[in-house]
Amino acid sequence: MTRRRVVITGLGGLCSIGTNADEIWQSMRSGRCGLGPLTINRRDLKTNIGGEIPFVDDSGIEPRQRATMGRFSLLATLAATEAMAHAGLDRSGIRPERVGAIVGVAVWGADAVDDSYRDVFLEGKKRTHILTVPRAMPAAAAAQVSMVLGLRGPVFGVTSACSSANHALCAAVDQIRSGRADIMLAGGADAPIQYGILKAWEAMRVLARDGCRPFSNDRDGLVLADGAGIAVLETLDGALARGARILAEIVGCGLSADASDVVSPGVDGPIAAIQACLDDAELSPAGVDYINAHGTATRINDRIETLAIRSVFGAHADRLSVSSTKSMHGHCLGASGAIELIACIGAIQHGVVPPTIGYSAVDPECDLNITPNHSVERNVDVALSNAFAFGGLNAVIALRKI
């Protein structure tokens, strides 16, 4: 049986460098940094840098529906609404039972959880808000997208730490390839700029002091950020039949697990995921032009990712363009892969590789062409997006110009 081809026809997103997908891409290609001092009540936090979204317009959401949402669900819904419009779709033009949504989330509705603790422990209330559970549950983002857009096909959440968005996108590809759906909205959303989440990450001693500098020898950690990204995926035949603009084709997905350490990455799992992605796409290593790296700016992650890329690509690794856009928008946890999808599609559509900003010192153990500080023009026919998460959960996606 011929495998159904899956294409992307719409994008939506919000993060610290833009409140729509086009603004995010323009910020990426110009190397604009969205990371800065936190404006939330920090109490006793040592951390004072993050990727906050400057303005979130929720005026288009019915107030009663908005009242049921945590912040990450709101971000997912706004990104999904934008993606649907970008794809030229609305309720009147779809069969709702053939359209679904999968949204990756690394944590949960932390704002709802923080509010409940504040109510009980600080204000002495006997109960939390009645909607704490539906605001906080990790599947809420997918459920809210389905309700706001009227989607009745396969709808569920995915949670695999920082690989959640890529896992959601791969799961959506599988739904379409299997014939369970014709159109899927997929991506990720997270809102970790909350006291409880920041406090927990601070305890791990992996947060940067003053900036995110992937692959640079002076890097000292990651920067957390709020964000969401959603893509519209559909069959190639369906997109062509309705005259949709096709942004790129998802030609491969590669998944693996390290099965070793919950926080310290190994190299074998990332190698397996990249190779599985190339195999699924029927691509040779020489067929790849650009890799959007996981690139968190932690010492070990960047070194391991470099080793994995060199292991798979061999001599071609020196001809690859690589960059980590987390240097600009920060680490949006479960949303990262979806925001980085915008970078990959932008590179394919415009022939521009976005930079890794903040790079100032060569690390001999990270000796890739990481596109330091400034974007470069380059024809990109095939791009890979890497996601390597805590727990050794790895997901890599291959995109091709069409």
Q: Is the model's pLDDT at 385 over the cut of 90?
A: yes
Question: Among the options 33, 167, 331, 344, which is catalytic?
Answer: 331
Q: Is the model's pLDDT at 50 over the cut of 70?
A: yes
Class for the domain spanning 6-241:
alpha beta
Question: Among the options 15, 33, 86, 162, which is catalytic?
Answer: 162
- % of the chain at pLDDT higher than 90: 98
pLDDT tens digit sequence for 252-279: 999 999 999 999 999 999 999 999 999 9
Mean pLDDT of all residues in the chain? 97
Q: Where in the chain is the domain with CATH 3.40.47.10?
A: 6-241, 252-400
- CA neighbor of 265 nearest in space, from 234, 308, 236: 308
pLDDT tens digit sequence for 316-375: 999 999 999 999 999 999 999 999 999 999 999 999 999 999 999 999 999 999 999 999
- Mean pLDDT of the region 88-115: 96
- Mean pLDDT of the region 284-308: 98
CA diameter of the chain:
64
Q: What is the CATH topology of the domain spanning 252-400?
A: Peroxisomal Thiolase; Chain A, domain 1 (3.40.47)
Q: How confident is the model at residue 2 (pLDDT cuts 50, 70, 90)?
A: confident
**Is 294 labeled as catalytic in the residue annotation?**
yes
Question: In this structure, are residues 281 and 401 in contact, taking their beta carbons and an 8 Å threshold?
Answer: no
Q: Cα–Cα distance between 329 and 34 in angstroms, integer?
A: 6
Q: Cα–Cα distance between 29 and 124 in angstroms, integer?
A: 49
Question: In this structure, are residues 223 and 211 in contact, taking their beta carbons and an 8 Å threshold?
Answer: yes
Q: Is the model's pLDDT at 1 over the cut of 70?
A: no
pTM above 0.85, yes or no: yes
Question: Among the options 294, 329, 332, 344, which is catalytic?
Answer: 294
**Is 374 labeled as catalytic in the residue annotation?**
no
The 8-class DSSP code of residue 188 comes to: E
**Is 162 labeled as catalytic in the residue annotation?**
yes
